[in-house]
Structure 1
Amino acid sequence: MTAQLHIPVRRRLSAPHRRRGVRRNIIGWMFLAPAIVLIGVFTITPFAQAILLSFQSWDGVSPDTPWVGLANYEFVMSDPVFWASMRNVLFFGVIGFVIGNGLALGLALAVNATTRGTTFFRTVFYLPGVLSVVVVGLLFGFILAPGTGVLNRLLESAGLGALAQNWLGDPAFALISVAAVFVWYHWGFAFLLFLAGLQDVPKELYEAAELDGANRWTKFRYVTWPQLAPVTSIVSLLTLLGALQIFGTVQVLTNGGPGYHTMVPTLAIYNEAFVNWRYGSAAAMSVIFGGALILLSLIQLAIAGRRSRV
């Protein structure tokens, strides 16, 4: 017998089906239209205006905005304050990524292993994230104040007065102190995401691993960690973006001082525009910093996509 070739025939949709599909597309775009308009007005348009302004000189008051070409970018490239802020914000990113996420994952594992008090721990650990950055800055400004600060008084009462420091005024401790405040403020959200991811791991995988004689570390390495890969990618991206965009905490605690040891790009851009009245160079800073954030996000998403395909 001769084999028969079955060639799939593409069926043509009838006119009512085509009209129904077009109608669904129109309805979908109608629902998306308000969001697209808002994104265009409040995101794309300001970013395009910032790019245009970065090639101009403007003091924020004068109606004249003369074209200066790449002069603003040349100024930014040679500005030590801006690049010091970039180094500082990388430090915040590393601390948040390693210590903050490590702390969040460790406590999520501990809470997930308990049978009681999950709701209590989930609420308490997330509580710092509910506070505003101004409240957090004022709170830790009181705790870390030299002499009368709560931390120094506790050290003195414990007989460790030699360890008391000017935590926010000493260049050797200011950046570390602000980074610790950032971790305390942001780690609760990562904790909730990790805990949700752990609760979604199928119990059958752990049971199968136990039948194979796996210990705790083996189960974490071959079961828990691979299952948490999507959550880890999201948490890592949000933590890095949050660290790189830190502003309010630094402004309230140190305002970039002492000197420029705790300066961050967002605060440097703010000072350049609203203190020094150089909007053109501030726009150039924002374009460079925004481009770095976009590049970092694309790299992180590419890594997450490759990991999900493995």
Structure 2
Amino acid sequence: MAALGQSPRLGRLGPDRSDGPHAGTLRERIWAARWCYLFMAPTLLLALLFTFYPLVASWYISFLDWSGLDSDREWVGFANYVEAVRDPYFWQAFGRTFAFAAVTVPGTIILALFAALLLNDQSLRMRAVFRTMFFLPVVTTTAIVGIVMSLVLNPFDGPLNAALLTLGLIDAPVDFLGDPDLSLWAVAGVYVWKWMGISMIYWLVALQTVPPELYEAAQVDGASRSKVHRHITIPLIMPFAIIITLIGFVGALQTFPLVQAMTGGGPAFSTELVEVYIFRLAFAAEHQPRLGYASAVAVFFGLTVLALTLAQAWGLRRAAATQRELRSGRR
């Protein structure tokens, strides 16, 4: 026993913790995982340069009266934020942004749910092909999508107007992107088409959580497909709807590439969402840039997105709790 107590591996009587996953000092653990940190270093450096530094800098710049083009910087405190609160153009852009999200999010989620229910059917042939077709717009560059869809919606030689004229649905070409009353909703339609695929994937993942024995029992009872979806599928995947909705809502607030490529915020500012408004303030050529004020607007908008992200985290916990309750009730 004495020899055991003096063992260099045990040191003293009791379990040896030197081989555990948390053994040694912090420096020793970092050195043991040095290759992991080495491979992470490029990504961390890029994140510091292009994410964390601009984030911190935007907060600082938001308290300045600065054009971004010269060295004259005046500290104005919260004056930029006060101006943003009083700026009607900002609130118009803010309202358009949330109106855009209020239309695109339900449209995207509902269409994606129908597509997922259809493509989750085991009897459907070429399901993988159709899933790929729905998902292709998601992985296509947003700028390319915007340019191509601008050509599709062109009132002079666009294929959409040509098809509508041929079918007799319209008497004259419709300027979808040139009419202030239509332009925002035309962009919204393109947005739904582009991002529906990712919501479809989320729904397909949710559908995999439905126990197959429930479907088998429903078939034995002679339930139709619509009743199966209404009484089994939809109730069991509804907890996932919270997360999918919040993810879609946050994404719908970040639409700068698509809007800039299709309309640039026009006509008559009808598609100028908050991100386009920030870009115009900071970099537009028709007036002297106001980088400080644009940063204040960006921070204000960023805090809104952050609040929605926190709501998403809360929704995730609630969805998990509801799912556990449903499963425990089945048992």
TM-score normalised to structure 1 length: 0.86
Aligned residue number for residue 8 of structure 1: none
Matched residue of 2:176: which SS?
Answer: coil
Q: Which residue is 2:301 aligned to?
A: 289
CA distance in 2 between counterparts of 1:41 and 1:14 reads: 48
Paired position in structure 2 for 1:144: 153
Out of 91, 114, 117, which is 1:109 matched to?
A: 117
Q: Give the distance between the partners of 1:167 and 1:81, measured in 2 at CA.
A: 23
TM-superposed deviation, 1:205: 2.1
Looking at structure 2, the residues matched to 298 and 213 of structure 1 have their Cα atoms a distance apart, in angstroms, of: 44
Task: Report the CA distance between 1:49 and its aligned residue.
Answer: 1.7
Once the two structures are superposed, what CA deviation does each residue of 1:77-97 show, in whole Å capped at 9, x if it has no partner?
122222222112212212222
- Specify which of 199, 207, 232 is matched with residue 241 of structure 2: 232
TM-superposed deviation, 1:124: 1.0
Query: Aligned partner of 2:128: which letter?
Result: T
Report what 1:23 is aligned to: 23
Instruction: From 264, 268, 271, give the equivalent of 2:277.
Output: 268
The Cα shift of 1:68 comes to 0.5
- 1:256 Cα deviation after fit: 0.7
Q: Using the TM superposition, give the Cα deviation of residue 260 of structure 1 relative to its aligned residue in structure 2, in angstroms.
A: 1.3
- Percent same amino acid at aligned positions? 35
Residue 211 (structure 2) aligned to one of 202, 215, 233: 202
2:182 partner SS: helix
Q: Please tell me whether the aligned partners of residues 161 and 173 of structure 2 are also in contact (alpha carbons under 8 angstroms).
A: yes
72-81 vs 100-109, greater mean Cα deviation: 72-81
Within the candidate set 220, 223, 235, 2:229 is matched to: 220
Q: Greater shift after overlay, 199-208 or 70-79?
A: 199-208
TM-score, normalised with respect to structure 2: 0.81
Q: Is the 8 A contact 1:146 1:152 kept in 2?
A: yes
- Structure 1: gaps (5+ residues): 1-11
8 Å CA contact 1:269–1:285 kept in 2: the answer is yes
Q: Say whether residues 1:45 and 2:53 are aligned partners.
A: yes
CA distance in 2, matches of 1:155, 1:307: 43
Size of the aligned set, in residue pairs, is: 299
Distance 1:287 1:264 in 2: 15
CA drift of 1:74 comes to 1.8
3-state SS of 1:251 partner:
helix
CA distance in 2, matches of 1:190, 1:163: 35
Q: What is the correspondence of 1:118-197 to structure 2 with a 5 Å cutoff?
A: 118-162=127-171, 164-197=173-206
- Asked if 2 retains the 8 angstrom alpha-carbon contact of 1:84 and 1:260, the reply is no
> Helix, strand or coil: the match of 2:114?
helix
- Give me the whole-angstrom Cα distance separating, in 2, the residues matched to 1:50 and 1:29: 34
Out of 14-23 and 117-126, give the one that drifted further.
14-23
Q: Separation in 2 of the partners of 1:36 and 1:13?
A: 43
Kindly provide the amino acid, as one letter, of the partner of residue 169 in structure 1. Answer: G
Contact 1:198-1:224 within 8 A present in 2 as well: yes
Structure with more contact order per residue of length (Cα contacts < 8 Å, sep ≥ 6) = 1
The equivalent residue for 1:82 is: 90
Secondary structure, in 3 states, of the residue corresponding to 1:228? helix
Equivalent residue number for residue 277 of structure 1: 289
Q: Check whether the contact 2:104–2:192 (CA below 8 A) recurs between aligned residues.
A: yes
Kindly indicate whether the alpha-carbon contact (under 8 Å) linking 2:247 and 2:312 is maintained by their aligned counterparts in 1: no
CA distance in 2, matches of 1:104, 1:180: 14
In 1: Cα distance, 2:187 partner to 2:133 partner = 22
Q: Cα deviations across residues 121-178 of structure 1 (Å, max 9, x unaligned)? A: 0111111122211211111111111232222222222223326321111111111101
Asked if 1:96 is matched to 2:104, the reply is yes
Q: What SS does the corresponding residue of 1:17 show, helix, strand or coil? A: coil
Q: Partners of 2:45 and 2:136 in 1: how far apart? A: 35
Gaps of 5+ in 2: 1-11, 323-331
Deviates more, 1:142-151 or 1:227-236: 227-236
What is the CA-CA distance between 1:284 and the residue it aligns to?
Answer: 0.3
Which residue identity is paired with 2:22?
Answer: V
Higher helix share: 1
192-201 vs 97-106, greater mean Cα deviation: 192-201
Q: CA distance change for structure 1 residues 148 and 13 in 2, over 3 Å: closer, same or farther?
A: farther
Equivalent-residue separation in structure 1 for 2:56 and 2:236 (angstroms): 40
